[in-house]
Chains A and B, each alone.
Chain A
Amino acid sequence: MRVLKCLLAGLFVGTTFFLSAQVRHTISGVVEDAGSNEVLFGVTISDSRFQYGVSTNEYGFYSMTIPEGEYELIVSFIGYQKIKKTISLTGDKRIDFALQESVSELDEVVITGSGDQISLQSPQMSIAEMSVQTIKSIPTALGEPDVIKSLMLMPGVTNGGETSSGFNVRGGATDQNLVLMDEATIFNPSHLFGFFSVFNSDAVRSVRLYKGAIPARYGGRLSSVLEIYQRTGNSKEVVTEGGIGTATTRVIVEGPLKKDTSSFLLGGRGSHAHFFLPLFGQSNYAYFYDFNGKVNFRLDNRNTISMSGYHGKDTYSIDESFLNTYGNSFLNFRLNHIQSEKVFTKLTLVYSNYASSLALDLEGLKWRTAITSFTLKHDWTNYTHERIEINYGFSSIYMRFNPGEVSPSNEASGVQARDLTQKNALESAFHIGFEHKVSPKLIMEYGVRASVFLRLGQDSSYVYKNNDPIVFNPFTLTYTEAEPTGISVPAGNGIMAGFGKLEPRFSTTYRLNAWNSVKGSYTRAAQYIHLISNTNSPTPVDVWEPSGPFIRPQMVDQVALGYIHATAYKFTFETEVFGKKYRNRLDYIDGANLIANNAIERVVLNGEGRAYGWEVLLKKSTGSMTGWIAYTLSKTEQRTPGRVPKVDNGRSNKETGINLGQWYHAPYDKRHDITVFASRELSKQWSSSANFTFQTGQPTNYPIGQFEFQGVKIPYYGPRNSVRLPNYHRLDLSLSYLTRKSLTSKRISQFVFGVYNVYNRRNTASINFRQNQDTGVNEAVRTSVFGIVPTVTYNFKF
């Protein structure tokens, strides 16, 4: 530690030239909600002349070093009453604040942290942040408030359609999002094929999505970081909260274990039994449930321990011949330690597991896969320097990939039990990042992440001729799987492959004047694990594959420029342009079979990708009418050119690559994406919201001809993703009626009436081509998922 401090001290030397000789002291503390003792993230603490200002971190801690003197401190946070406190600063001081909820602003929409004075100053850009109140006010197809579907109303965030799991950020794939719930990685953030996300909105405290300019403390994914914190639980009184909707029921109980020092939170949620059933057979079912739990102990005013856990499961079954289950679980232990007025540390240990299984009775096959990971993270935030906040730390994740156990599903099955080879990897990183107020107008955030990925030894691996797991046929222009020439068994826990990457991160804000700022950022990130999917949208049985001897880590470089203007009339206008380049994006060869495949390296090639975009967000965050208009213009493409020949046989040895090496649209490329959202308080009881979405249709393939082979009729296609489905658009409305005994009463009951897709547009989920069974003539069939859907949800809190 001492070495590090010396190193940091050395770094400061170059930046102290502007410091005056004034005596300085540090004020630090924790800001909490007065009603529940829940810590508050993003609270602004500034002096009344706005010379100095900081905001609280995700655990409510702040630290500010300012010259000796008299100050009037203002502590403000949207939705809470402002606190003004006069202090005489003659030495280091610890001041904790408890903010009272401001009742009149309870339902105010809070979209992003940017847009007010702080965001004009913050070096961060490319962030989408949303309050839980906003998420709850957005109409959804099945009446359940949904974190991911809400974020998709922000510029730069889309997904593959109404039935797609996951989400896509600025042309990134769904596996390129780091989804953290209480700092634990969630591998699949969706329930029931994306109808719901895994986050129980009642348990969520804050939601922040980094679309770019990702700080150095995050790593392991290329495109975004979705950081979700669960609430710590009310340590003053027992509160029960929940809702009953068309499709789901959720309930949360929280309260003190010991008043004001420790708390618990327990939550559960489930889809209504056999919700999807009323249709056909008797034995079909589909449901999900999840549980959240958290305990929080404040040991003293410097140390807080918390433990949180999550377990979720999805099940689908049809006619007892098909069964698919999957789910995430995690257990997290964290120690937050205020080392001094100027140093905040947190130590995190996480166990996380994602498992899915598939039983196909017809084929007599059962297949189970899992990823288990253990994470150790230690992070420090150092506020020693008045103008520089330093974040540094290390993390190490051990991951065990179990790509599958195949077993017979019934006695009659001839399937032989076999285990696909387990894969193990260790990903470690050290990061350091500086948030540097260079001058009152110029703020920079810069840092670097040094990551190392070791693919650890496994039971056995295949050996190929010329080290080439895929063979290209230069006559038929097809790629096929190579036959292994042998099996290698590494001795002990040898390392099969290792990668090290330096990931510089930089972002800056220059404040032109009180109302205008310009921003810029550069991010390089490395991702060592890959989700292999060859369906149009990810499914729970998709397989994660670690980098190794044949599969290189994927990399991205992203540059973004932005401009923010805060207008009068409480409007803010933000716009950003971005450009991204991906390397080593895996692409599957035509005809790849990914299920229970013990040698994924034989069906994928390393390709590249690029994405460009322009995002605009006009929003109004305060007042009785709030909302935003978001527009994204973007283009996302990928290609997999032929590999460089390894063997010289005197011929060209060229390869054509996948899709003949041509660039093609990524399946989630949406040229235009427009969202308009508005929420209005009609009276103390009634409020309404409306949401309109328009997106360019998804890229797809249409057949250009057909042929018959052995009595089977097969369409054939042009280049990948060369045409588009029809454009997507819909309007949703909701009206909510809230009753509470008095303005300050904790007892709340609320009815939310929603209509999804008001004008009943048959949006195209897919167009498939088939032969009409009666006429024998080919036809195009459009599948649309949701027509108009009315919903009613009852929410309560007592």
Chain B
Amino acid sequence: MKIDPILVVIVFGLFSCQEVIYVDLPEEEPRLIVDAIVPIDRAQSSLYAQVIVKESSSFFDEAYPVELKQISFHNLTTNFFEILIETTPGTGVYEKQIGTNFFVEGEVILQIDYGDQLFYATTRFVPSIPIDTVVHELVTLDGKEKSKVSITFTDQAGRDDFYIVDFGNGTYETFDGRLFDGKTQVVSYVFGERFESGEVLLIRLMGADRSFYNYMSLILEQSLEDVSPFDTPGTTVRGNVFNVTDIDNIDYFDNVHLTGNFPLGYYAIVETSFDVLTVR
């Protein structure tokens, strides 16, 4: 839930001034970045699971893909094992077609073997609900016509659900379903521009557990879109993937002694419903 940019418009509109400046930024060793969201559609018998693994560089540079020794999913309950392949070398995209059931039952581990380091994350399938409707309309804001996309969905009563809505083009909103338990909710997003007729948007509604909801809310807050003096102070958003290289379970049972070496990104298996919106 964000109020910041709005306040800025009001309070600073009259006097404030924004300009691009040069800032000398501190740098550190590259970090592993893991983007491992497995979208589940239970109507389909299989899916193309995809994990993007890269390494960070400085703030002003792009991350670059990395070549892993191995990356795999392991279902602890069924004891099935799936190894992902970088189908197009040099992209950092590791993928494989895997049966839906592999992900839906039990705890599924993601293990990444990179150089002399071993990374690990674990999660379980989170269910969600289908999108009821998607509507596009034009609204006038600040004297300009803009595209407004609204989606409707109905929360399942009695279950603590969280939702992440992807309006396309990397535009997300997060919702705490406990606020409208069992009810139908309309969620809208007003884009900064007006979409041309024929333009296509892929809308996604993802389920989330509280932890993924928190992670997503936080990275959206920290994302590079908003500029505001009322922002929460910048912080490194740590996900659920961690470095297990030194955990030998003899002397070291955890990472408390190893505070600096952690990867970025998140691993989740979430039920996802899609809708394709064609602007008319």
Residue with the highest number of chain A CB atoms closer than 10 Å, among B14, B143, B224: B224
A713, closest chain B residue (CB): B224
B43 interface residue (CB < 8 Å to A): no
A460-480 vs B, CB cutoff 8 Å, 1 = contact: the mask equals: 000000000000001111101
Determine if A708 and B33 form an interchain contact, defined as CB atoms under 8 angstroms apart.
Answer: yes
Determine if A322 and B14 form an interchain contact, defined as CB atoms under 8 angstroms apart.
Answer: no
Determine if A715 and B234 form an interchain contact, defined as CB atoms under 8 angstroms apart.
Answer: yes
Q: CA–CA, A785 to B14, complex, Å? A: 9
Determine if B232 and A714 form an interchain contact, defined as CB atoms under 8 angstroms apart.
Answer: no
Determine if A708 and B11 form an interchain contact, defined as CB atoms under 8 angstroms apart.
Answer: no
How far apart are B219's CB and chain A's nearest CB, in angstroms? 5
Q: Please indicate the chain A residues that have their CB under 8 angstroms from the CB of B217 in the complex.
A: 591, 593
Interface-located stretch among A41-49, A274-282, A686-694: A274-282
Q: CA–CA, A49 to B25, complex, Å? A: 66
A533, closest chain B residue (CB): B232
How many A residues are at the interface, by size bracket? 35 or more
A83 interface residue (CB < 8 Å to B): no
Q: Beyond A477-B262, A783-B12, A789-B15, is A712–B179 a contact (Cβ under 8 Å)? A: no
Q: Please indicate the chain B residues that have their CB under 8 angstroms from the CB of A700 in the complex.
A: 233-234
B252-265 vs A, CB cutoff 8 Å, 1 = contact: the mask equals: 01111001001011
B183-210 vs A, CB cutoff 8 Å, 1 = contact: the mask equals: 1111010000000000000000000001
- Tell me which residues from 362 to 411 in chain A have a Cβ below 8 Å from any Cβ of chain B: 362-365, 406
Pick the contact of B254: A281, A535, A541, A651 (CB < 8 A): A651
Determine if B234 and A475 form an interchain contact, defined as CB atoms under 8 angstroms apart.
Answer: no
Q: Please indicate the chain B residues that have their CB under 8 angstroms from the CB of A595 in the complex.
A: 1
B219-242 vs A, CB cutoff 8 Å, 1 = contact: the mask equals: 110111111111111111111111
Determine if B214 and A707 form an interchain contact, defined as CB atoms under 8 angstroms apart.
Answer: no
How far apart are B7's CB and chain A's nearest CB, in angstroms? 7
How far apart are B171's CB and chain A's nearest CB, in angstroms? 9
B185, closest chain A residue (CB): A414
How far apart are B150's CB and chain A's nearest CB, in angstroms? 10
Q: Beyond A656-B259, A707-B56, is A478–B13 a contact (Cβ under 8 Å)? A: no
Interface-located stretch among A114-122, A740-748, A761-769: A761-769
Q: Please indicate the chain B residues that have their CB under 8 angstroms from the CB of A278 in the complex.
A: 14
B227, closest chain A residue (CB): A768
Determine if B232 and A475 form an interchain contact, defined as CB atoms under 8 angstroms apart.
Answer: no
B1-34 vs A, CB cutoff 8 Å, 1 = contact: the mask equals: 1011011111111111111111101111011010
Determine if A701 and B244 form an interchain contact, defined as CB atoms under 8 angstroms apart.
Answer: no
Determine if B256 and A286 form an interchain contact, defined as CB atoms under 8 angstroms apart.
Answer: no
B259, closest chain A residue (CB): A660
Q: Please indicate the chain B residues that have their CB under 8 angstroms from the CB of A319 in the complex.
A: 141
Q: CA–CA, A406 to B181, complex, Å? A: 13
B220, closest chain A residue (CB): A712
Determine if B180 and A787 form an interchain contact, defined as CB atoms under 8 angstroms apart.
Answer: no
A655 interface residue (CB < 8 Å to B): yes
Determine if A762 and B19 form an interchain contact, defined as CB atoms under 8 angstroms apart.
Answer: yes
A765, closest chain B residue (CB): B229
Q: Beyond A536-B230, A705-B59, A766-B229, is A593–B179 a contact (Cβ under 8 Å)? A: no
Q: Beyond A318-B6, A477-B259, A781-B227, is A535–B232 a contact (Cβ under 8 Å)? A: yes
Determine if A537 and B229 form an interchain contact, defined as CB atoms under 8 angstroms apart.
Answer: yes
Q: Please indicate the chain B residues that have their CB under 8 angstroms from the CB of A789 in the complex.
A: 15
A22 interface residue (CB < 8 Å to B): no
How far apart are B267's CB and chain A's nearest CB, in angstroms? 11
How far apart are B225's CB and chain A's nearest CB, in angstroms? 7
Determine if B253 and A474 form an interchain contact, defined as CB atoms under 8 angstroms apart.
Answer: yes
A69 interface residue (CB < 8 Å to B): no
Q: Please indicate the chain A residues that have their CB under 8 angstroms from the CB of B28 in the complex.
A: 704-705, 718
A193 interface residue (CB < 8 Å to B): yes
Q: Beyond A710-B166, A715-B224, A783-B17, is A591–B237 a contact (Cβ under 8 Å)? A: yes
Q: Beyond A707-B265, A710-B170, is A286–B242 a contact (Cβ under 8 Å)? A: no
B211 interface residue (CB < 8 Å to A): yes
Q: Please indicate the chain A residues that have their CB under 8 angstroms from the CB of B264 in the complex.
A: 707, 709, 716
A706 interface residue (CB < 8 Å to B): yes
Determine if A322 and B265 form an interchain contact, defined as CB atoms under 8 angstroms apart.
Answer: no
Q: Please indicate the chain A residues that have their CB under 8 angstroms from the CB of B184 in the complex.
A: 414
Pick the contact of A721: B141, B169, B210, B233 (CB < 8 A): B233
A702 interface residue (CB < 8 Å to B): yes
A319, closest chain B residue (CB): B141
Q: Please indicate the chain B residues that have their CB under 8 angstroms from the CB of A708 in the complex.
A: 33, 35, 54, 63
Interface-located stretch among A124-132, A512-520, A771-779: A771-779
A786 interface residue (CB < 8 Å to B): yes
Determine if B57 and A705 form an interchain contact, defined as CB atoms under 8 angstroms apart.
Answer: yes
B142 interface residue (CB < 8 Å to A): yes
Determine if B224 and A475 form an interchain contact, defined as CB atoms under 8 angstroms apart.
Answer: no
A475, closest chain B residue (CB): B242
A306 interface residue (CB < 8 Å to B): no
Q: Beyond A415-B179, A541-B3, A717-B236, is A535–B231 a contact (Cβ under 8 Å)? A: yes
Determine if A715 and B180 form an interchain contact, defined as CB atoms under 8 angstroms apart.
Answer: no
Determine if A780 and B255 form an interchain contact, defined as CB atoms under 8 angstroms apart.
Answer: no
A531 interface residue (CB < 8 Å to B): no
Q: Please indicate the chain A residues that have their CB under 8 angstroms from the CB of B227 in the complex.
A: 768, 770, 781, 783
A93 interface residue (CB < 8 Å to B): no
Determine if B26 and A704 form an interchain contact, defined as CB atoms under 8 angstroms apart.
Answer: yes
- Tell me which residues from 60 to 95 in chain A have a Cβ below 8 Å from any Cβ of chain B: none
How far apart are A711's CB and chain B's nearest CB, in angstroms? 3
B214, closest chain A residue (CB): A591
B145-189 vs A, CB cutoff 8 Å, 1 = contact: the mask equals: 000000000010000000000100110100000011101111010
A785, closest chain B residue (CB): B16
A51 interface residue (CB < 8 Å to B): no
B11, closest chain A residue (CB): A193
- Tell me which residues from 178 to 213 in chain A have a Cβ below 8 Å from any Cβ of chain B: 192-193, 195
Q: Beyond A702-B25, A770-B225, is A712–B170 a contact (Cβ under 8 Å)? A: yes
Q: Beyond A477-B259, A590-B218, A783-B16, is A362–B59 a contact (Cβ under 8 Å)? A: no
A320-337 vs B, CB cutoff 8 Å, 1 = contact: the mask equals: 001010000000000000
How far apart are A541's CB and chain B's nearest CB, in angstroms? 7
Q: Beyond A412-B186, A707-B264, is A717–B235 a contact (Cβ under 8 Å)? A: yes
Could you name 28 residue pairs across A and B whose Cβ atoms are closer than 8 Å? A281-B141, A318-B10, A414-B185, A416-B183, A418-B179, A474-B255, A477-B256, A536-B231, A539-B230, A541-B3, A590-B238, A591-B218, A593-B1, A652-B254, A704-B58, A706-B224, A707-B63, A707-B264, A710-B35, A714-B237, A715-B59, A767-B23, A768-B226, A771-B224, A778-B59, A781-B21, A782-B20, A783-B8
Excluding A539-B7, A667-B233, 20 further A-B contacts by CB distance (< 8 Å) are A275-B14, A414-B185, A415-B180, A476-B255, A477-B242, A478-B238, A534-B232, A596-B1, A656-B259, A705-B31, A707-B31, A707-B264, A710-B170, A713-B223, A715-B234, A716-B56, A768-B227, A771-B224, A783-B16, A787-B15
Top 8 nearest A-B pairs (CB, nearest first) are: A474-B254, A711-B170, A414-B180, A414-B185, A766-B229, A701-B234, A279-B13, A414-B183
Q: Which residues of B contact A (CB under 8 A)?
A: 1, 3-4, 6-23, 25-28, 30-31, 33, 35, 37, 54, 56-60, 63, 141-143, 155, 166, 169-170, 172, 179-181, 183-186, 188, 210-211, 214-215, 217-220, 222-242, 244, 247, 253-256, 259, 262, 264-266
